[in-house]
Structure 1
Amino acid sequence: MQHHELTSGWTVTTTAGEVPDAARGTFAAAVPGCVLTDLLAAGAIPEPYDDAHEADLAWFHRTDWRYTASPDLAPPEPGERIDLVFDGIDTVATVRLGDTVLGRTENMHRSYRFDVTDLTARTSLTVDITSATTHAEALRSRLGDRPAVNVPRPFNFVRKMACSFGWDWGPDFRTAGLWKPVRVERWTTARLARVRPVVGSDTVEVHVDLERSGLETRSAVKVRVEVRGAGASTVVPADVDEAVLRLRVPDAPLWWPAGHGEQPLSELTVELSSGETVLDTWSRRIGFRTVEIDTGDDEHGTRFVILVNGRPVAVRGANWIPDDHFVTRITRDRLARRLDQALGANLNLLRVWGGGMYESDDFYELCDERGLLVWQDFLLACAAYPEEEPFRSEIEAEARENVVRLMPHPSLVLWNGGNENLWGHEDWGWKDLLGERTWGKDYAERLFGEIVAELDPSRPYSANSPFTPRRTPGQSHPNDADRGTHHQWDVWNRLDWSAYRSEIPRFCSEFGYQAPPSWRALTEHVHAADGRALTEVDDPYGDPTFLVHQKADDGTGKLERGMAPHTGVPERLEDWHWAAQLNQARAIRHAVEHYRSWWPRTAGWIVWQLNDCWPVVSWALVDSQERPKPVWFALRRASAPRALFLTERDGALGLVAVNDTDEPWTGTAEVRRSSFAGAELARRETRIDVPARSVQVIALPPELTTPHDAAEEILVAELGDERAVHTFAEDVDLKLDPAPLEATAVRVGGGYRIDVLAGSFASDVTVHPDRLAPDARVDDGVVSLPAGARTSFLVTTTADLDPADLTRAPVLRTANDLRAVAVRAASPATGPGGHMVSAG
């Protein structure tokens, strides 16, 4: 088989819609690519991510575009078939070669193949892309409306990335384009139409489907499969188009998740031949392992435990969204950096959320290499979806194609039927709006499960997130914290983050807390509506342009009401920014320490969210410019394989030692109560003896946990390099020294080292190096130091900095210094209760 990529010579021009003069005409088109990024490259539109340009580009929602190329299609050789293959079209399109219509597309998440053997004399290839918005609205009018979180945006009536229409963390740029490769394939006799490897711990069962060319008399062909020196072959008779080959690989090394072992990958190859002629080949790297989900009942409810190779895995995860709204700009290198940041935060799972896309092969290959588990949603999110034709067939076709495409990857451990659809139907008023109309129940509870069982029986399926297994209508709830998976959004929407302690979920697959991005990401991309810097206006948080980059319902109000009882709400933007980031770090740290302390009852958690797709105030750990927020450092420490916490249990303060390694953790922990100034008030040594993959909870005596003066005392626990610090009151009630640090900075190879000494208790010491240089990064953050403690931070940068700038605000900050700034009342709530729908 011969492949020829059609990447050059494409142009794009508008064919319908109210298009600004600057965007009219013919533009060079990148393929793979997107019309908006082509217009941006040509200078025809402003930078979409800056200021309020989202609204300036709303005209794009209702425009049509024509891609044109003139491929050189040589006539077929005798017996040769020629196919034109589109791996992905965004989204509603008509494809023509010359004046012949090859086909029509209505699904971004599918590929398309057209036989052009008899059309090679045609020299003009056109793809007419029509507005996905008008297409979806027409289908909505025909089938009847369905409720969704982004009403009236009709994302649930077109098979396009749902967050293309905007989300509470993402912009509304409804892209269009040839977003995946286009190529010509030339082949004879037969080709490998579909290969499905069902992999176990030492076996591979390879299912092969063939497509015959139809241009010659059918003949027998041979299929051979090989992996790690084991091979098998079979002859497929002329009247048969499928084969199954089974291999046993007795020396197969097991693939393990990060932190549980190695990730050996083995090349699996499939060869199709006729006589001595190789007709087609297929190869993927696979990993030998088993996976299952334990959803049995116990005294606490219903478990949700992921087991790999029979071993329970304590899941430490993050939800994943497309890493750039313009998804064709996402490169393998960029994905590698982001996945390394996930690993760097001690995470072992990413959940590919159902409002985004089935990610590129690069994403899953990189997860395979790193041992990052992948929980894969089918692409339904936060909405009711019609089950009538033609929508149903599109849903089924994309599910079948992507199950087969992704099943070779050992990192993929769970298929999930969608995000919050079952919960939404139960709690968000959908029943009254829907009446008798379909809403997607059959997709989640039957269709997807049957597809997985048929095509990928080696993996488990869950009907939704959140989801209660074996749910009894009227008696159990899809978001029951005690049964299956659970989403915790009451904390963000209406409760203080201390309320995370109020429940012990079996598996929390969504929870999160907002904060602004890095200072540079915010101020470089967001200015006040009048063009001034945000620092120059009286109310930056209420400025219309700022709110373009704060999509959450009453987001600023929730941030400030969340800050008020902890740090207070600073008046100046610089201090407000730091306090909001600090509050996010503390909220997530608090939740993770609580969840981990209850292993194995709480078998896992998946924070919302790892990444951002543009500059925005959001729940992300890492902003769109790849800078970790302070929460990333707090999470890294809280999710370490071995971690020490001071946390409440049954109303009393206890010491928790988490050991998620294969070796026991033993030692003597020193626990002391002291003043902020360093005077020791009580001390106790306690033996730590934590078996592998276990948690030890140690009650502490009253002399340690009962302060004489809660406003100026701390409790400190230390074991080896691990330290936990607990204050007995919130910052607003503490007598914190506003300047507790002595700091110096010196130039070292690759950047600068900042050395700090705490003269008094210094809470959550954090460095913000982006304030000085765009490329500056720091190796640690959110570090609390008792009086007399020292630490160092390494800042890497190519910039020439004044070391003194690294030792003071706004670069070097603590929670202490917020006690010296002006504060104000939090923004009042804009509506009753809180917004029910979550970020995801």
Structure 2
Amino acid sequence: MRHQRLPRTWTLRPLTEAPVDGPIPATVPGCVHTDLLAAGLIPDPYRDDNETRLGWIGRTDWAYEAVFHWEDTGERRVDLVCDGLDTIADIELNGVPVGSARNMHRRYRFDLAGALRPGENRITVRFSAPYGYAEHWRAELGDRPGAYDEPYPFIRKMACNFGWDWGPTLVTSGIWRPIGLAAWSVARLARVRPFAGAAGRVRVHVDVEREPGRDGPLEVTAEVAGVAGTAVLGPGESAAVVELRVPRARPWWPRGHGEQPRYALTVALRAPGPGAGSDARLDVWRGRIGFRDVHLDTGGGAFTLVVNDRPIFARGVNWIPDDCFPHRVDRARYAERLGQAAGAGANLVRVWGGGVYESGDLYDVCDELGLLVWQDFAFACAAYPEEGPFTAEVEAEARDNVARLVHHPSLVLWCGNNENLEGYRDWGWRERLQGRSWGAGFYHDVLPKVVAEVDPSRPYWPGTPYSGAPDLPPNDPARGTIHIWDVWNRREYGHYRSYRPRFVAEFGFQAPPAYATLRRALSDDPLTPDSPGMRHHQKAIDGNAKLAAGLRPYLTVPEDFDDWHYLCQVNQARAIRLGVEHFRAQWPRCAGAIVWQLNDCWPVTSWSMVDGDARRKPAWYALRRAFDPRLLTVQPRDTGLVLVAVNDTGEPWRTPVRAARCDFGGTVLAGHGLELGVPPRGTAEVALPAAVADPGDARRELLAVTAGDRRCLWFFAPDKDLELPAPDFAAVAEPVPDGARVTVTARGLLVDLALFPDRLDPAAEVDEQLVTLLPGESVTFLVRSPAPLDPEALVARPVLRCVNDVLAPGGPPR
């Protein structure tokens, strides 16, 4: 087997009327938008409202062309291997048609016989406009309801390309993954699917493609950890299984449950026997596997992932494409973003169905970090047609991606779709469809059959939310998975406490991105919540009104932009922490909380923990506390306040606990001590006595519960109703290598103290956020910055903030 990458440098030209001419320098992998941007022919799509002037790109036909040299070294078969074509593509080599593609989500392979020649070759890839293709099939098959008035259900393409409530409408075309040539003779490895269980047993399923007329015997050898096995394919056979057993194989565990050892697996294909080429290695596959078992416990309505016979609470984050142009997301970026997920305490990433099946780098990094992967199939928030070319494309796409990803131990669940079952049942789709297909055949027939055949080692779930059977209400908290979106859309976040779910696959709350992110992306002057750029980078329906509605029950809706920006971020952080703590306190009844969402694809006000410029919002720091393996939380019950301790470690947690009801001046009004014992992977709940749980004056008191180095606070009233003292503290900033150290000592109560060094240097970041200090307490923030920072500015508004400086009399911090 010989591989040759095609050149990175191509040319691009429009094939239909467009405001640009060709040829235009192009880069592969890439897309039209990034090529036009690099050529200076369009403005940055992420700045201001530039997006609105680029809709013509998705309505234009385009051609990519390149010239490459090919040396014939005697292989009998040469294939063009396309890892990703976006989306409606027709390919010519030296003027000869060699293949076509109609699906962004799958790989293609085309035989170049009769087209490829020794020496110079010219390849042309013509892309038809995505809008034209999708609108043709919409007219042909009849419209389908969806979340947005866009034709994305009628093309097998990244749905959020057509816009979402956190993303722009930037409809792409291009060669978005590598493209090259593969030359071979006799036979090649078409598919390798290793299944490695926790007991050290490996079954390696191998499918081969034979060169026509070459039906002789073949030999497949698999080797891992010094153990090898062989299977022989007889004449004409195309599939084999090699079984191995690795003594003392160490199991792969999710993050927080053990280590993540992986083992190198090599699979080789040979043609044994006499004659020329005997025993020659025809092809080889290499990958890394982990030994683990997984199943899904759904008994009694449960939805619990079980890995190596251990039930797992999923501390999860939802993943959307990290860029509207996904070819720009390389391994380093995956490592950074997934490292942020792990740093926040997550042990699971759900790859959402409105994006793409990510590159192997995402899953490989998750393997390394111990982040479980829940993988949606690529369907989201719409009724999808099953007629025309779509059923065949969906099956091919599913087979390709399931086989491609099967060796990753981090991958633990295949899910049929995002919110389509709920849409059909609860959003009025059934009446609008008038009997037309909507995707049920995909979720209940095609996809489960593909998973059962290609990857029987993992569970399949038809969609989320889903209660376990088609005739049940899909978003029932008592069964399966639910999404909670009445909070944010209609209710304040305290309503999370009304839920007793089995597994929450989506919930979230919005906030604007970091100030430096806004300043880079927007030219608004002045910057206000309703300035033109801010409005354009808020894609949620009535988003700013919902931000204001979320502030009113707890804080205030300030007129000053800096106050608005800070309080919105505080409110998002509190919403996420309240929801996560409430759901974790219900373990083992509730077995998962997947926050919407980890990341953004551009600079935008959204539900993300990490904004579009990779800056961590305050909510990220709150999530880190809420995802702490050992969590201490005060929860309200009908009978009063209780203390819940969650121990998601393998060791018992025994510690003395002190609960104190204090006034805002720090005076202890009542105290209570107890000994806390929590079993491994368990919870403990203790009622707090009235002396500490019932305030004398709810406006001037709080409850502090301390266990070792962990503390949780409970305020008896919303901040807006508290009589917070004016901010009173001493703050000192001193330079240290690569940044600064800022120490704040409270002379009075300080609520949600935060430091925003990105306002001074966009590259600066801080190690902690939203710290509440009682009188006499101190906190030290470590700031990393490549440039020196002004010490006085570091300890002044708007860099150093607390809730007191908005809600309490006395002005800003001093």
Given the two structures, how large is their TM-score scaled by the length of structure 1?
0.94
Q: Tell me how far apart the structure 2 counterparts of residues 635 and 113 of structure 1 sit (CA, whole Å).
A: 44
In the alignment, what sits opposite 1:40? 37
In the alignment, what sits opposite 1:196? 193
In the alignment, what sits opposite 1:366? 365
Q: Tell me how far apart the structure 1 counterparts of residues 531 and 779 of structure 2 sit (CA, whole Å).
A: 39
Q: Tell me how far apart the structure 2 counterparts of residues 781 and 698 of structure 1 sit (CA, whole Å).
A: 29
Give runs of aligned pairs for residues 233-248 of structure 1, distance below 5 A.
233-248=230-245
In the alignment, what sits opposite 2:217? 220
Contact 2:741 2:782 in 1 (8 A): yes
In the alignment, what sits opposite 1:10? 10
Contact 1:353 1:419 in 2 (8 A): yes
Kindly state the Cα deviation for residue 822 of structure 1 after the two structures are TM-superposed: 12
Matched, 1:491 2:487: yes
Give runs of aligned pairs for residues 548-627 of structure 1, distance below 5 A.
548-627=536-615
After superposition, the CA RMSD in angstroms is 1.4
Amino acid at match of 1:690: V
Q: 1:246 to 1:11 in 2, by over 3 A?
A: same
Q: Tell me how far apart the structure 2 counterparts of residues 567 and 167 of structure 1 sit (CA, whole Å).
A: 29
1:144-198 deviation digits (Å, cap 9, x = unpaired): 11101111x1000000000000100011100110001111111111000111112
Give runs of aligned pairs for residues 300-315 of structure 1, distance below 5 A.
302-315=301-314
Kindly state the Cα deviation for residue 99 of structure 1 after the two structures are TM-superposed: 2.0
Kindly state the Cα deviation for residue 740 of structure 1 after the two structures are TM-superposed: 3.1
Helix, strand or coil: the match of 1:39? helix
Matched, 1:280 2:283: yes
Q: Tell me how far apart the structure 1 counterparts of residues 660 and 541 of structure 2 sit (CA, whole Å).
A: 43
1:517-574 deviation digits (Å, cap 9, x = unpaired): 001111221233xxx331xxxxx33334322100001100000011011110010111
Kindly state the Cα deviation for residue 821 of structure 1 after the two structures are TM-superposed: 8.5
Q: Tell me how far apart the structure 2 counterparts of residues 64 and 648 of structure 1 sit (CA, whole Å).
A: 59
Contact 2:727 2:808 in 1 (8 A): no
In the alignment, what sits opposite 1:293? 296
Helix, strand or coil: the match of 2:529? helix
Q: Tell me how far apart the structure 2 counterparts of residues 806 and 360 of structure 1 sit (CA, whole Å).
A: 40
Kindly state the Cα deviation for residue 42 of structure 1 after the two structures are TM-superposed: 1.0
Helix, strand or coil: the match of 2:620? helix
Matched, 1:503 2:499: yes
Q: Tell me how far apart the structure 1 counterparts of residues 214 and 714 of structure 2 sit (CA, whole Å).
A: 79
Matched, 1:116 2:112: yes
Contact 2:725 2:809 in 1 (8 A): no
Which of residues 477, 480, 483 in structure 1 aligns to 2:476? 480
In the alignment, what sits opposite 2:689? 701
Matched, 1:765 2:753: yes
Contact 2:402 2:451 in 1 (8 A): yes
Which of residues 796, 809, 822 in structure 1 aligns to 2:784? 796
Q: Tell me how far apart the structure 2 counterparts of residues 406 and 821 of structure 1 sit (CA, whole Å).
A: 58
Kindly state the Cα deviation for residue 125 of structure 1 after the two structures are TM-superposed: 0.7
Give runs of aligned pairs for residues 407-418 of structure 1, distance below 5 A.
407-418=406-417
Matched, 1:137 2:140: no
More displaced, 198-207 or 279-288? Answer: 198-207
In the alignment, what sits opposite 2:275? none
Q: 1:138 to 1:651 in 2, by over 3 A?
A: farther
Q: Tell me how far apart the structure 1 counterparts of residues 231 and 570 of structure 2 sit (CA, whole Å).
A: 62
Which of residues 81, 95, 100 in structure 1 aligns to 2:91? 95
Q: Tell me how far apart the structure 2 counterparts of residues 135 and 76 of structure 1 sit (CA, whole Å).
A: 40
Q: Tell me how far apart the structure 1 counterparts of residues 52 and 606 of structure 2 sit (CA, whole Å).
A: 19
1:613-647 deviation digits (Å, cap 9, x = unpaired): 10000000000111110001011011101111122
Amino acid at match of 2:282: L
Contact 1:523 1:533 in 2 (8 A): no
Q: Tell me how far apart the structure 1 counterparts of residues 808 and 23 of structure 2 sit (CA, whole Å).
A: 58
| 4+ residue runs over 3 A deviation | 820-823
Amino acid at match of 2:230: S
Q: Tell me how far apart the structure 2 counterparts of residues 236 and 458 of structure 1 sit (CA, whole Å).
A: 24
In the alignment, what sits opposite 1:440? 439
Q: Tell me how far apart the structure 2 counterparts of residues 148 and 625 of structure 1 sit (CA, whole Å).
A: 29
In the alignment, what sits opposite 1:470? 469
Contact 1:210 1:242 in 2 (8 A): yes
Q: Tell me how far apart the structure 2 counterparts of residues 787 and 596 of structure 1 sit (CA, whole Å).
A: 31
Q: Tell me how far apart the structure 2 counterparts of residues 379 and 147 of structure 1 sit (CA, whole Å).
A: 17
Contact 2:217 2:235 in 1 (8 A): yes
Contact 1:570 1:821 in 2 (8 A): no
In the alignment, what sits opposite 1:27? 24
The gaps in structure 2 that reach 5 residues or longer are 272-277
Aligned residues: 802
Q: Tell me how far apart the structure 2 counterparts of residues 111 and 126 of structure 1 sit (CA, whole Å).
A: 18
Q: Tell me how far apart the structure 1 counterparts of residues 590 and 573 of structure 2 sit (CA, whole Å).
A: 21
Q: Tell me how far apart the structure 2 counterparts of residues 725 and 732 of structure 1 sit (CA, whole Å).
A: 17
Kindly state the Cα deviation for residue 103 of structure 1 after the two structures are TM-superposed: 1.6
Amino acid at match of 2:742: I
Q: Tell me how far apart the structure 2 counterparts of residues 589 and 291 of structure 1 sit (CA, whole Å).
A: 29
Which of residues 762, 782, 803 in structure 2 aligns to 1:815? 803
In the alignment, what sits opposite 1:835? none
Matched, 1:455 2:454: yes
In the alignment, what sits opposite 2:274? none
In the alignment, what sits opposite 1:722? 710
Matched, 1:513 2:509: yes
In the alignment, what sits opposite 1:149? 147
Helix, strand or coil: the match of 2:368? helix
Q: Tell me how far apart the structure 2 counterparts of residues 548 and 248 of structure 1 sit (CA, whole Å).
A: 58
Kindly state the Cα deviation for residue 8 of structure 1 after the two structures are TM-superposed: 3.0
Q: 1:578 to 1:821 in 2, by over 3 A?
A: farther
Contact 1:51 1:545 in 2 (8 A): yes
In the alignment, what sits opposite 1:641? 629
Q: Tell me how far apart the structure 2 counterparts of residues 211 and 618 of structure 1 sit (CA, whole Å).
A: 47
Kindly state the Cα deviation for residue 709 of structure 1 after the two structures are TM-superposed: 1.2
Q: 1:737 to 1:241 in 2, by over 3 A?
A: same
Kindly state the Cα deviation for residue 238 of structure 1 after the two structures are TM-superposed: 2.1
The gaps in structure 1 that reach 5 residues or longer are 535-539, 824-840
1:315-368 deviation digits (Å, cap 9, x = unpaired): 100000011111111111111011111011000000000000001111000000
Q: Tell me how far apart the structure 2 counterparts of residues 367 and 699 of structure 1 sit (CA, whole Å).
A: 39
Which of residues 506, 512, 533 in structure 1 aligns to 2:526? 533
Kindly state the Cα deviation for residue 651 of structure 1 after the two structures are TM-superposed: 4.9
Helix, strand or coil: the match of 1:570? coil
Q: Tell me how far apart the structure 1 counterparts of residues 669 and 121 of structure 2 sit (CA, whole Å).
A: 86
Amino acid at match of 2:8: S
Work out which structure has the larger RCO, using CA pairs closer than 8 Å and 6 or more positions apart in sequence. Answer: 1
1:392-444 deviation digits (Å, cap 9, x = unpaired): 11011000000000010000000000000000001111011101100001111
Matched, 1:179 2:176: yes
Q: 1:331 to 1:9 in 2, by over 3 A?
A: closer
Q: Tell me how far apart the structure 2 counterparts of residues 644 and 788 of structure 1 sit (CA, whole Å).
A: 23
Q: Provide the identity percentage.
A: 49
In the alignment, what sits opposite 1:834? none
Amino acid at match of 1:790: S
Helix, strand or coil: the match of 2:27? coil
Helix, strand or coil: the match of 1:569? coil
Q: Tell me how far apart the structure 1 counterparts of residues 72 and 264 of structure 2 sit (CA, whole Å).
A: 35
Q: Tell me how far apart the structure 1 counterparts of residues 499 and 409 of structure 2 sit (CA, whole Å).
A: 33
Contact 1:467 1:486 in 2 (8 A): yes
Helix, strand or coil: the match of 1:119? coil
Q: 1:821 to 1:567 in 2, by over 3 A?
A: farther
Q: Tell me how far apart the structure 1 counterparts of residues 810 and 115 of structure 2 sit (CA, whole Å).
A: 74
Contact 2:86 2:172 in 1 (8 A): yes
Matched, 1:672 2:660: yes
Matched, 1:254 2:251: yes
In the alignment, what sits opposite 2:101? 105
Q: Tell me how far apart the structure 1 counterparts of residues 202 and 378 of structure 2 sit (CA, whole Å).
A: 28
Q: 1:451 to 1:552 in 2, by over 3 A?
A: same
